[in-house]
Structure 1
């Protein structure tokens, strides 16, 4: 594990950035964490076959405390819509917990392509659409449960806190942007927690590096969490001051670069 400790400064930097974005934009940080972990985990001895599931599982584990910190910061300002949270949370938790089982069977190459496709689609949507609040009538509990199932399964499969899905959904049904970001941060907690448990179980019996429990690599998780715990409240505070649209196009460019790079990696092995 010694070589892993040499990577701690990088893990800390990645964690600080992911936590800040989690608080600011309501995303779980996985869009930063997964690509970074794909570069760092091979240095810790993670094999190519286990690389993508390990990156996703470790990302979800690191998001747990980030989500707690971000949610606390938003809740202290009364911005979390708890009734909507409870309508999404049960199916979000259930489907996120099964994502690790599916990821272990898809393999790293296909998982990487899925992640790259998701990121590229998100980049296009982010670049072409503004932050607008809809006025549609809110659906019943069963429809919210269905939305939760989609958010939980996809988020667990690509290692994100679900904000890139939850925020647009809430905006569509008339939730103000600040409350949408806050509620999304809260929804990210059951995704991360139950998703982590699923990835631990999925890789439990496999031969993995020292420091890993299933598909979760704890040296990376601990360092990322330590930094994101402090940076997430800073992002949440800024979310109540800055117009989030200011960062959208820059964020879209970042996503496009990451998505293209990962797609090339999955298709060519380089």
Structure 2
């Protein structure tokens, strides 16, 4: 019993804390789980003695597997409301999958510090977009031609899988910048999450486990983390939503932007320190 507690208890505590915090934040701020799970799990794992490089790989891989069931639920809900652009998905999915494969291969080849730097930079860009471009006019009046759209899709897949996030973090701002209807952008981006998470998680499950990874690993994915984070995020997201309903929406966006700035900034400080 003592061996079980010493080996498994720190991992279980880390995953419970991550799932609870991610669920509340996701409900509070109305964001996808990955952009919350990855930084929270990254810092929590380090608190329990995992190296920063391994913590980032485990965080992104576990987040990708968590996104699979949550994306399925999200796609069904948005499809019922008619907010999924299936024609766009038919054009984009091959380019996005190619981007996901390339991003997964690079993430597994380079050290965790590189993926930390990617997450940090993109998190700061997303935060800046939320703070300074919330009411800004679109950059373009419509989506570009097929070559431009293919580049957009590949970029979303490439960086999202390296960060361990669904398609909304990068996809929604890019679509909005092209004057795409906001609700359609969110609904269609929920499908991006499936295109990103399924091949990305599969690659991470087949990868070699780092020597200093926590207990319960399959490849780069922490199985106890997946099993604990999914139900806790589902259970506690309504709590976060209830808290959010009592607060000012503009303030919530600023709070989330600050959260991203702190998380992204700390990741970059660890990389370049």
TM-score range, shorter chain: 0.7 to 0.9
Q: Determine the C-alpha separation between the residues in 2 that align with 1:89 and 1:46.
A: 36
Q: Determine the C-alpha separation between the residues in 2 that align with 1:232 and 1:151.
A: 25
Q: Determine the C-alpha separation between the residues in 2 that align with 1:143 and 1:9.
A: 42
Contact 1:96 1:156 in 2 (8 A): yes
What is the match of residue 239 of structure 1? none
Structure 2: unaligned runs, 5 residues or longer: 1-6, 242-246
- Larger deviation, residues 8-17 vs 74-83: 8-17
What is the match of residue 89 of structure 1? 93
Residue 18 of structure 1: how far off its partner (Å): 5.9
Q: Determine the C-alpha separation between the residues in 1 that align with 2:69 and 2:120.
A: 25
1:32 matches 2:36: yes
Q: Determine the C-alpha separation between the residues in 1 that align with 2:158 and 2:12.
A: 32
Of residues 125, 129, 132, the one that matches 2:133 is 129
Residue 227 of structure 1: how far off its partner (Å): 2.9
Q: Determine the C-alpha separation between the residues in 2 that align with 1:144 and 1:204.
A: 34
Superimposed CA distance per residue, residues 163-197 of structure 1 (whole angstroms, 9 cap, x where no aligned partner): 12211222233322111111111211111111112
Q: Matches of residues 148-167 of structure 1 in structure 2 within 5 Å?
A: 148-167=153-172
TM-score by length of 2: 0.81
Contact 2:24 2:238 in 1 (8 A): no
1:5 matches 2:15: no
Structure 1 residues 62, 136: closer, same or farther in 2, change over 3 A?
Answer: same
Q: Determine the C-alpha separation between the residues in 1 that align with 2:236 and 2:82.
A: 20
Residue 256 of structure 1: how far off its partner (Å): 1.1
Contact 2:16 2:229 in 1 (8 A): no
Structure 1 residues 182, 230: closer, same or farther in 2, change over 3 A?
Answer: farther
Superimposed CA distance per residue, residues 190-242 of structure 1 (whole angstroms, 9 cap, x where no aligned partner): 111111122223x2365454421111111111211223345679999xxxxx9
Structure 1: unaligned runs, 5 residues or longer: 237-241
Superimposed CA distance per residue, residues 45-93 of structure 1 (whole angstroms, 9 cap, x where no aligned partner): 7444422211111111111111111121111111111111222222212
Of residues 227, 234, 252, the one that matches 2:232 is 227
1:79 matches 2:83: yes
1:17 matches 2:21: no
Look up the SS of the partner of 2:150 in the other structure.
helix
What is the match of residue 66 of structure 2? 62
Q: Matches of residues 202-241 of structure 1 in structure 2 within 5 Å?
A: 203-204=207-208, 207=211, 208-229=213-234
What is the match of residue 185 of structure 1? 190
RMSD over aligned Cα atoms: 3.2
Residue 9 of structure 1: how far off its partner (Å): 3.1
Q: Determine the C-alpha separation between the residues in 2 that align with 1:138 and 1:81.
A: 13
Q: How many residues align?
A: 262
